[in-house]
Amino acid sequence: MTRGARIICQTAAIAKGIDTPVNKTIRESCVITEYVVRGTLATCSLGSNIDVINIPFSHGHTINGKPVLNIADSKVGPNIKCFGICKKLSRPCVPIFLFPLWRGPICPKSMTNNKPLLTKDAFLICAMGGIVRIIHSGQRRQNIYVTADQLKQLGWDESSITDEMVKGLNNALEKYGITTPEKIRHFMSQAMHESGLGIYTKELANGKAYEGRADLGNTQPGDGPKYKGAGYIQLTGRANYQAFADYMGDQKIMDGVDYVSEKYPWEAAGFWWRNNGMNDIVDSLKGTSIDQQTLEISKAVNLGDRYSKNTPNHYEERRDCYERTLEIIK
């Protein structure tokens, strides 16, 4: 088996030398399937969002440099955070699994850390009735939707373009379903304007204008400045920060704008985009004029209402940014 090849369960005796330094991989008998690696995505039938499955340390086997999971990697916190809002309870998801291990097809002799490897057909059952399933194995290398060169062509601040930043962008695009050229163009054009072409990851104003804004959940003194806009598309207000914190499983997000703008500039932007139905809005505008598309989307981003009678701030600049993306993102 070649280095970095897709690992599948198939009818074969377990390979000799699977723990060699060259490529610690496993092949075993059972149903044909793929093993799951760190960073794969999962969904719950009762959840509003996708979650990333993680492991804090490697069990000793990797595929394409990614640690392979086993069936015990089902713990809330270290492995699984949450799936957004639970549709049954209408509040943030707190997974409670009926069984401690992933269920479904396993290969008993394909082991890592003394547990069977996790396959992409496995599932978990939540006490609320939700079924957690793996979207894909995670073995494939990251999809690249926007490259560093494309960011430079768009006029993005070159001092901020690093490998980690580009990886964060592409992770957010995939995680939040911003994967068609049209969705990427609208997302990037709004991010270009909101961030001053990548120079700013938080709002320049002091945030006092948001003080006491109940519609943003700003109910405590100081909430306005503390929860002003953060991210390349600005997440704003205590309620939105709390929803983001619950989704990410990171309550330090409630420390405020500085933490989010530094650690989650693309995540915050992608989270806001999906939670406000922006992908659906882009789809609904298919076939309409550029003017109608950019106006309605700019209203949704800047005014919170695509049908508002008001003109969004700096609309011409937002439209210009979109026209620039048409030339670069195909």
Cβ proximity of 51 and 42 under 8 Å: yes
Question: Which backbone phi and psi does 113 adopt, to 5 degrees?
Answer: 55, 40
pLDDT tens string 118-168: 998 999 999 999 999 998 888 776 678 999 999 999 999 999 999 999 999
Q: How far is CA 327 from CA 150, 233, 287, 330, in A?
A: 10, 22, 18, 7
Predicted confidence pLDDT, tens digits, the chain (330 residues)? 233 334 444 323 232 333 333 234 443 333 345 889 988 889 899 988 788 898 888 898 888 788 999 999 999 989 998 888 898 998 888 999 999 999 988 777 788 888 999 998 999 999 999 999 998 888 776 678 999 999 999 999 999 999 999 999 998 998 888 999 999 999 999 999 999 999 999 999 999 999 999 999 999 999 999 999 999 999 999 999 999 998 887 899 999 999 999 999 999 999 999 989 999 999 999 999 999 999 999 999 999 889 999 999 999 999 999 999 999 999
Contact between residue 248 and residue 264 where contact means Cβ atoms under 8 Å apart: yes
Q: What is the fold, at CATH topology level, of the domain defined by 148-328?
A: Lysozyme (1.10.530)
Mean pLDDT of the chain: 87
Strands 123-125 and 115-116: unpaired
For the stretch 276-316, pLDDT in tens is: 999 999 999 999 999 999 999 999 999 988 999 999 999 99
